[in-house]
Structure 1
Amino acid sequence: MHSVRSTIKPRIRAPWIALVALLAMPPLVSAWLSPAGVPQGWLLAALAQAATMIVFALSYNLLLGETGLLSFGHAAPAGLGALAAAQVFNSTAMPLPLLPIVGGVAGAAVGALTALFAARRAGTAFAMITLGLGELVAAAAWALPDWFGGEAGVAIDRASGPAIAGWTFGPQREAYCLIALWCLAASVAIHVLTRTPYARLANAVRDNPVRAAALGATPARVRAMMIVLGSAFAGVAGTLALINVELAASESVGMTRSAGVLIATVTGGSASFFGPVLGALVWVAFSVGVASVSRAWMLYVGLFFIVVVLSAPDGLAGFAARQRAALAQHGWRRCRAYWTTAALAAGSGTLALVLAVQWAYAQRFGDDDASAWLMALSPRVLVATIVALSLAAAWLTRRAGRAATALARTGQVRT
């Protein structure tokens, strides 16, 4: 029994250690390498977005993963929570570290109103109700400029609040420390919540609401409570974004943001607690990293999402778990052929796709596009390169399929 516990506990600790390292190590290394001893501003901004998206995706998974509720309006509690926090901060002398609590309370209030209309439904009906409510909130953001701020949004000066231990939170590094601490605190709170008996009751309602009702539970009440809790943490995430950019914009309640958190959660894997965390990091990598060098980043997001849904319906976390099981069962030598050919196939296909897309964008936007240098190359060379990479990807994919079949014949579960 002791040996079993000793093998399980490191698996539980490892993702948390990785999350803390992700939030803490890059700024420390950047500060150590900087002559001024200060982390790079762009790095802190990207990590702050990642921390915010992690909380946002985990809050959404309380609905999708734990309760089986597909919401198309999860941006509403996040955006309204941030707007409420901005209004409170501008009108009172509230310390900035307490501001996410205001956003969480406001988000929970929005969730309670949503539950009033949607908690009795599930499946497509729930999705359509949340879509309608989300669009209603987005329309109200433009119809009520006095409260929503109109096109300019509601701005704050995070340094205007009371200083705490000499910290005014005006410098970006101080604001980032606050965001990172709130990210860890919210992640731990959501993790604890998913281990409670009430979360298990939500799982029962998700899997079989009729049987859960026969056992004495009320599915509508269970869904309502999870909607309120998920919306509360969404309000916290929205407030962390407010602290980062010092602006609560009207666009923050729109459909684009709701779609973003849905893509992040499904891509990472809603069946695993850390799946949405992985999906949030992938989303930020596209929206920050790829978007900084390509106009076509949303196209890449859509294609990546389609590939993940088709090849790994349980998300990247589920795919990684299957590969870890294959490694434990067969060892590195047997898995190496499949992994090598699959990686080469994915790399060749991705490179062919990127060259084709960036060439098309360069043709469309000319010198205004980052890939304008492709215009200097011969079209014949580009076409030949794209075709060669595509053929190589097809051949390698076939080889990878054969390697996977060979593993399956030796007892490997389907990958």
Structure 2
Amino acid sequence: MATNTAVGKPSLLKLWPWVVIPIVAIILPHIFDSGHDINLMSHMSIAIIFALSYNMLLGNTGLLSFGHAVYFGLGAYVAMHVLRMVNEAGGEGLPLELIPLVGALAGMGFGIIFGAVSVRRAGVVFAMITLGVGALVHSSSLMFTDFFGGEAGLFGDRTYAPSMFGIDYGSSVSTYYLIVAWTLVAAILIYLLKKTPLGWMANAVRDNPERAQFVGYDPTFVRFFQFVLSALFAGLAGGLHVLSDEIVNDEVVGQIQSGAVLLGTYIGGIGYFVGPIVGASIVTILESSLSTYTDAWVLYFGLLFIGIVMFAPMGIVGVIHLQYLSWKAGGWKGNTGIRLYLLLAGLVGIFGLVCVIELSYHYFRSWDPSAPFGLMGFTVDATGAMPWLVSFAIAIAGFGAMLLHAKPMLARRTGAKTEGGKA
């Protein structure tokens, strides 16, 4: 009996995120109650499903796709047509709560069609095929206007659709809760799929397809199933996008959408289930908020992605997890101050780099570079030498202290500690 309790206890402890996260999601609209914040949280939930579906390809199966927005967008278009049919029928037909399922089925259907061609090869060939499929669908969205609506897109009204529970979805809060409910269901299903034989074999195909074939599994068959299921959840996210924005246009199937989900998934960490959740949330917040502060927000996205790929390929969650393991093993003992110094120096360097970028962007892109503009609480002139000298000095001092002083100091301290432990 004692053994069963000891075994069951950790299992129950692992369930805490599935309890805490829904509670937090319920409370958030009461804290951030503006329309913009609620819409942002709705978009964040949709992005989480989309990123989790993409991680089924990249993280679990090792398939790098440049056209995953195809299934998000086509699912959104089909769901929008169903919503418009319900609107034209005077509010009679499929309940609003089930319309995202239409997007999911549409995503799965197109996943079967395109996946039958795409997954025959992996690696670069697969990536190029998905890039071609993405370009094909995006160009088609501007040609076949009866289905796609052209550049203007298609509009629908969620308030004219019936509800299974008699809920008025005219409020953005009620729509947010519906999206969160579907997000939780999708996250649980994707998590459970990782624990199935298909999920384990997808990992095996990712790591060593020859060995997977040797034990009796067809790698192409495994990739195909993962591809179709991934497209299903991407289509579900597209269906929820229809409920949130009530409009779809060619952007939902474009390369920017595919790039955003790749960016979010990789930044968060493709080796961890929560990685895409964290990455999608960060990208959504930055995309919505950063663009209101600077015109160079796309450049910052690119620099962030390059920095993650070069210095932290395991993603943000991976870095945090490694530091947690180091702390748990006693690796932080005696050098916590150095680690904080390293972090502070890096932040100072980033601050200086941001100042340089903002100065450059204003100088080269502004109609009048000599016009004063706000930079970090100060009004500066980009044509003067002093702002440039100060910004470069801060960047060089921060990164120099990090790379030439703090990092070698930490390496010596941890190296000496390791040698002492061996001795």
Normalised by the length of structure 2, the TM-score is 0.90
The residue matched to 2:271 in structure 1 has which SS?
coil
> Aligned partner of 1:29: which letter?
I
Residue 407 (structure 1) aligned with residue 414 (structure 2): yes
- Which residue does 1:33 correspond to in 2? none
The residue matched to 1:152 in structure 2 has which SS?
coil
The verdict on how the C-alpha distance between 1:22 and 1:372 changes in structure 2, with shifts beyond 3 A counting, is: farther
Residue 386 (structure 1) aligned with residue 388 (structure 2): no
- Which residue does 1:365 correspond to in 2? 366
Residue 132 (structure 1) aligned with residue 129 (structure 2): no
Counterpart-to-counterpart distance in 2, 1:136 and 1:371: 45
Shift of 1:331: 6.3
Point out where structure 1 has 5 or more consecutive residues left out of the alignment: 31-38
- Which residue does 2:65 correspond to in 1? 71
> Aligned partner of 1:225: which letter?
F
Larger displacement relative to structure 2 (316-325 or 395-404) = 395-404
Counterpart-to-counterpart distance in 2, 1:371 and 1:171: 42
Residue 23 (structure 1) aligned with residue 17 (structure 2): no
Residue 206 (structure 1) aligned with residue 206 (structure 2): yes
The residue matched to 1:151 in structure 2 has which SS?
coil
Contact 2:186 2:233 in 1 (8 A): yes
- Which residue does 2:188 correspond to in 1? 188
The verdict on how the C-alpha distance between 1:23 and 1:140 changes in structure 2, with shifts beyond 3 A counting, is: same
* Cα-to-partner distance string for 1:45-75 (whole Å, 9 max, x where unaligned): 1111110110000000111111111111100
Counterpart-to-counterpart distance in 2, 1:116 and 1:160: 38
Shift of 1:26: 2.2
Count of aligned residue pairs for this structure pair: 402
Counterpart-to-counterpart distance in 1, 2:154 and 2:372: 36
- Which residue does 1:377 correspond to in 2? 380
Contact 2:373 2:380 in 1 (8 A): no
- Which residue does 2:302 correspond to in 1? 302
CA RMSD of aligned residues (A): 2.2
The residue matched to 1:150 in structure 2 has which SS?
coil
Residue 84 (structure 1) aligned with residue 84 (structure 2): no
Matches within 5 A, 1:147-166: 147-166=147-166
Counterpart-to-counterpart distance in 1, 2:319 and 2:349: 19
The residue matched to 1:373 in structure 2 has which SS?
strand
- Which residue does 2:268 correspond to in 1? 268
Shift of 1:165: 3.5
Counterpart-to-counterpart distance in 1, 2:290 and 2:23: 23
Shift of 1:84: 0.2
> Aligned partner of 1:351: which letter?
F
The residue matched to 1:292 in structure 2 has which SS?
helix
> Aligned partner of 2:28: which letter?
P
Shift of 1:134: 0.8
> Aligned partner of 2:119: which letter?
A
- Aligned-residue sequence identity (percent) comes to 35
Counterpart-to-counterpart distance in 1, 2:335 and 2:133: 48
Counterpart-to-counterpart distance in 1, 2:213 and 2:372: 58
Shift of 1:80: 0.2
Matches within 5 A, 1:7-156: 9-10=12-13, 12-17=14-19, 19-30=21-32, 39-92=33-86, 93-156=93-156
Shift of 1:371: 8.8
Normalised by the length of structure 1, the TM-score is 0.91
Shift of 1:332: 5.2
Contact 1:107 1:235 in 2 (8 A): yes
* Cα-to-partner distance string for 1:112-134 (whole Å, 9 max, x where unaligned): 01111112110001111111111
Identify the match of residue 404 of structure 2 among 379, 398, 410.
398
